[in-house]
Amino acid sequence: MNYKLINRLDPLIYLGLVLVGFIMPEVTYRLFLFDFSAVLADNQEMIVRSIGLPLYFAAMAFFLLGGNAENGKQLNIIRYSGGLGLIAFAVFTEFNGFFAFGLVEIGLAVVTGSQIKKEEEASSSSTTEEL
């Protein structure tokens, strides 16, 4: 997959998760816990929905900035730090799904970073051949 496609699909998946979280918070709660038999208590519904707002803004930023290589580099910095933050959040809470989300984000940063580097090397070699 191309890094441009990854930078478009990744935020769309998170926007879908936000939408499901607002409509059916119990499904999102089970996904966050990686415990599909968990039952959402009445007072926890707002917690699940409150996670959706910062996730929405982050996904929109990724969606709007993911078009070119320079923005892709900046998004990778956010992916690395966000992935580490998600892993740390999973360690200190019971939301084990965030551990998987963090690993996926770090993996996406590695994949898109290598693709951007290859693209830049190809473009720099073509410009040196033209000189």
pLDDT tens for residues 85-127? 999 999 998 888 889 999 999 999 999 999 989 888 888 776 6
Q: What is the DSSP string of 34-83?
A: T-TT----GGGHHHHHHHHHHHHHHHHHHHHHTTSHHHHHHHHHHHHHHH
Residue where the block lists tokens 């939301």: 95
Structure tokens belonging to residue 42: 């009445």
pLDDT digits (tens, 9 = 90+) for 17-55: 899 988 988 888 888 888 888 888 877 788 888 888 888
- DSSP character for 23? H
